[in-house]
């Protein structure tokens, strides 16, 4: 799922695949292969490709004995799940989960609130001049000229006067994704390797994938999502979450943190 450390883990997979597979340029535009709604660079031809066209690319690569390195988030694969589980049934699938579930939910809600305020205008610039995320979720410096930092997202919040509060649509999507991940993905894949984000380290990833990265995407260090929500809104968010957690989520192994 989104906000589970997938970019961190995918960085190692991306480098490992250079030894035997196919890699696309770094960045979520390409590595979130099934996300057809990505607005990272609206002018790029890849952005215009449909789900069917992307699937055909994976099939054609396999005909040449090649596999593409990419990450798949739950919301993007629900509609293609029957095909996905069959296509990758003989592959080593890593399923990344965040044990601290409330923190995970709050991060997703936080960026959803910003997205509602900014709309599709979540980048500035173009592929010639370079572009900058106005809703970054990590610090990173890519080859396309964008330099993402905490002050960018803080200025975005001020510029768009973002209101941070509970959103039912976002909540329902989160709940459905959690259920799909645990009841469908994990149950129907052939022995996927489940990894809790809180249990892995850089050293573990280096040992598992046998690669070392010179530079890593890192989470914000002085950024606390909860401080942007008013106490009365946080109370509502917490109550709704706890009711669902104690009735359902705790049985998946998550913790109320």
Q: What is the pLDDT of residue 219?
A: 66
Give the residue-averaged pLDDT of 157-170: 94
pTM of this prediction?
A: 0.87
Instruction: Output the six-digit token pair for 84.
Output: 């996905």
- Detail the DSSP E strand segments found in 26-66: none
Give the residue-averaged pLDDT of 86-92: 91
pLDDT in tens, 94-110: 999 999 999 999 999 99
* Region at 213 (left for phi over 0; alpha for psi -120 to 50; beta for the rest): beta
pLDDT grade, residue 222 (50/70/90)?
Answer: low
Q: Is the pLDDT of residue 31 over 50?
A: yes
pLDDT grade, residue 44 (50/70/90)?
Answer: confident
Give the residue-averaged pLDDT of 124-146: 46
Q: Is the pLDDT of residue 192 over 50?
A: yes
Q: Is the pLDDT of residue 187 over 50?
A: yes
3-state DSSP call for residue 41? coil
**Per-domain residue ranges of the chain:** 6-252
Rounded-to-integer distance, Cα 11 and Cα 18, Å: 11
């Amino acid at each position: 799922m989104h906000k589970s450390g997938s970019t961190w883990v995918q960085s190692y997979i991306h480098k490992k695949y250079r030894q035997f597979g196919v890699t696309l340029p770094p960045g979520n535009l390409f590595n979130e292969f099934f996300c057809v709604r990505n607005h990272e660079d609206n002018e790029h031809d890849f952005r215009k490709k449909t789900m069917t066209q992307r699937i055909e690319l994976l099939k054609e690569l396999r005909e040449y004995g090649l596999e593409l390195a990419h990450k798949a988030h739950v919301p993007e694969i629900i509609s293609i799940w029957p095909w996905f589980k069959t296509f990758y049934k003989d592959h080593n699938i890593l399923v990344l989960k965040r044990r601290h579930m409330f923190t995970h939910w709050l991060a997703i809600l936080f960026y959803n609130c910003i997205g509602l305020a900014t709309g599709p205008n979540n980048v500035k610039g173009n592929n010639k001049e370079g572009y900058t995320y106005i809703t970054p979720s990590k610090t990173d410096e890519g080859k396309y000229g964008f330099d993402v930092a905490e002050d960018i997202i803080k200025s975005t919040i001020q510029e768009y006067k973002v209101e941070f509060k509970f959103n039912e649509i976002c909540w329902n999507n989160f709940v459905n994704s959690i259920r799909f991940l645990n009841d469908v993905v994990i149950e129907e894949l052939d022995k996927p390797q489940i990894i809790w984000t809180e249990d892995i380290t850089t050293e573990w990833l280096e040992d598992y994938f046998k690669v070392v990265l010179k530079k890593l995407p890192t989470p914000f260090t002085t950024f606390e999502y909860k401080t942007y929500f008013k106490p009365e809104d946080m109370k509502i968010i917490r109550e709704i979450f706890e009711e669902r957690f104690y009735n359902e989520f705790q049985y998946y192994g998550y913790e109320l943190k």
